[in-house]
Amino acid sequence: MMKKLHFFLLMTILLLCSCESTEPVAKESTVELLKDVEDEAVLDSNVPVLIPEFKGRAYPEFFEAAFVAGTQVEQGERNFVFEKHEIGEITCESGKIIACDPIAMQKAPAFTEIFPKGTFPVHLAIAKTGEGERVALARILFSEQAVVKWKYALRPGQKEVGFKDTTFYCYSVDAGTAIFIDEKSNKIFDFFKENAWDSVFVNKMERYHYKGFIHKFEKHTLAAFSTGLGDGCYAAYIGYDAQGKVCQLLTDFTLVAWWKIPEDV
């Protein structure tokens, strides 16, 4: 009983601290948040360089390049080597998807975009350095069509902002873990019945080496993954193909300051 009470109090505090705003935040504020997590690994001011140069059809090229084996990014004194890691498939039942810290999942709103329904693969872009490896990006791949345009994934009350703006929308993470989950699945998921924090988001994350996994419950699914350097505020993006159809939903954990890379590079 005391354990459940302690968890309830913790969750209440975190929910109050991680309330989502409809207002955009400054891009550099994410860097400041990361300084509190791991000072030595914070993003530096150098302009990142993609190696080999990736020629995608949409800016930023990094969003797709990070999932291509052999991609490297030089950022100051750090050299990231990327590889794609597949964690399984997620089911999109309602077409409404939520991305959030699992602590806040029961009250988190879905994005306003209607996504394709069905079962789709979830990929992580793993960044490796001499210091270890971290999850740089997480995505749901709805189709293999090329992305020709990226936009911010918006929640109710948010208005579109451009990639060249100094502000962006993000969701708060206080537990070093984030999830993708369908809105219908989220209503069915019983956080307390599942003993979710310990059995799912702690024990399972440890079992999968702090990368990510698919959790199945009552014929439903959610995808969970580590968030780069841990706590912070992370943006989600939607990739559209040449016909204007959704082909990807992606979260960036700001290991690479891609917004500093000139668009023509």
Residue 207 CB neighbours (<10 A): 9
Residues 6+ apart with CB under 8 A from 116: 92, 95, 142, 143, 245, 246
DSSP state of 164: T
Q: How many CA atoms lie within 13 A of 15 on its CB side?
A: 13
Q: How many CA atoms lie within 13 A of 202 on its CB side?
A: 7
In this prediction, residue 83 carries a pLDDT of 95
Amino acid 59 reads: Y
For residues 68 and 34, the model is more confident at 68
Number of domains in the chain: 1
pLDDT surpasses 50 at 1: no
Please report whether residue 265 resides in a domain: no
Which pLDDT tens digit goes with each residue over 186-214?
999 988 777 888 999 999 999 999 999 99
Residues 6+ apart with CB under 8 A from 88: 121, 122, 213, 214, 221, 223
In this prediction, residue 17 carries a pLDDT of 41
Q: Where are the beta strands (DSSP E) in 21-147?
A: 25-26, 49-51, 72-75, 78-92, 97-100, 118-129, 132-141
Amino acid 122 reads: V
Please report whether residue 64 resides in a domain: yes
Q: Round to whole Å and give the CA distance between 256 and 59.
A: 14
Please report whether residue 35 resides in a domain: yes
Query: What is the domain range of residue 81?
Result: 2-260
Please report whether residue 119 resides in a domain: yes
DSSP state of 224: E
Which pLDDT tens digit goes with each residue over 208-232?
999 999 999 989 999 999 999 899 9
Angle at CA of residue 173, ends 95 and 251, nearest 5°: 45
pTM (predicted TM-score): 0.86
Please report whether residue 34 resides in a domain: yes
Angle at CA of residue 176, ends 174 and 181, nearest 5°: 90
